[in-house]
Amino acid sequence: MIRLKNLSKSYNLGKEEIPILKRISLDVEEGEFLAIMGPSGSGKSTLMNILGCLDLPSSGDYELESMNMLTGHANKLAEIRNQFIGFVFQSFHLLPRLTALQNVELPLIYSGLKKKERKERAMDALKKVGLEDRASFRPPQLSGGQRQRVAIARAIVNKPKFILADEPTGALDTKTGEQILSLFKKLNGEGVTIIMITHDEEVAKKADRIIYIRDGELFKERSEDVHA
């Protein structure tokens, strides 16, 4: 479903070019649960931004279902993000003045659905994450785990091709984090493709496959073992 080939990203700092990603090649199959694991500064956030069509590489190829993600203009990329990718972030990114239901509805507004259908689909998504009884609550009235479940409901409401989760348990206690990971496993069992970015090995082990990133390069094993 996803193919990266020789993907590189660098930034110019004065006259110096700083490499962030170095010739990344990666295939992700439909229905996979993949963890990309690496320490701070490894390049995983930059890779996540490119996978999420939030940034462009300096060189290389990125295909999503045989579509070239690097040739579209900004409006087209925004449309792809809305229709193909569900985002889950460490800090939830919920709007505090909106109810849980309204937060989940947001991606559907940009899809042009009528109000009745939006509400029905948003409520269905909240039911999937076990929060239909909190639909009228605002984020400040919810626990951290509940807010993350609302974020997951928002991520799945448009039935995206894959969910991109950036440190989804990073702001949660261990027990609540386990509940969120169990929810990801349940969604994955229903056919949802999940790419999870994390620095925590225990979290990464919940995925079916782990890829390690260090100094902008990908490894199938720990990079320390590769270089040993």
The strand pair at 209-214 and 59-64 is best described as: unpaired
Confidence of residue 65 (pLDDT cuts 50, 70, 90): confident
Q: What is the mean pLDDT of the chain?
A: 91
H/E element, 76: helix 74-84
List the one residue out of 228, 162, 199 whose CA is nearest residue 36.
Answer: 199
From the centroid of its chain, how far is CA 214? 19
Domains of the chain: 2-227 (3.40.50.300)
Mapped onto helix, strand or coil, the DSSP state of residue 161 is coil
- Mean pLDDT on 102-131: 92
Q: Is the separation of the CB atoms in 51 and 81 below 8 Å?
A: no
pTM of the model: 0.89
For the stretch 212-221, pLDDT in tens is 999 999 987 5
Q: Is the dihedral of CA 145, 146, 148, 152 positive or negative?
A: positive
pLDDT(226) > 70: no
Cα–Cα distance, 121 to 98 (Å, whole number): 17
What does the pLDDT read at residue 225?
A: 47
Lowest pLDDT segment from 114-118, 171-175, 222-226: 222-226
